[in-house]
Amino acid sequence: MEAALRHYRAFLRQPGRYLDLCFPVSPHPESSLVDVANARDILQEALRSLPQPSRAELGLVVACLDAEFRRRTLPDPHAYRRLHRHGEWWHRRLYDGVFRW
């Protein structure tokens, strides 16, 4: 969970008004977190499994990051073509495939 939160924050610290999500390209264990949607999945699972006091605290942090994520990423009108299942809203944002951060 700590790595996921670190990657989510690092993604949002990038300069620029709009951000595109990146696909993971490396076999490194944390490379799946390069796709920040995967990092957000891990945070969602933590929110479901943590006890209430910790869930509330993490929930506040994630809610603030989510607001920034929604503001700085754009919806992908063609996301349904690449999603094998109906992913959460954070999987339905534009990807460009280039890892820059």
Q: How confident is the model at residue 1 (pLDDT cuts 50, 70, 90)?
A: very high
pLDDT: which is higher, 30 or 13? 13
For residue 78, the one-letter residue type is: H
* Predicted confidence (pLDDT) per residue in 53-82, tens digit: 999 999 999 999 999 999 999 999 888 777
Average pLDDT of span 30-53: 89
pTM of the predicted model, to two decimals? Answer: 0.84
How many Cβ atoms sit within 10 Å of the Cβ of residue 40?
25
**Tokens 């869930």 belong to which residue?**
55
48 Cβ contact list (under 8 Å, min separation 6): none
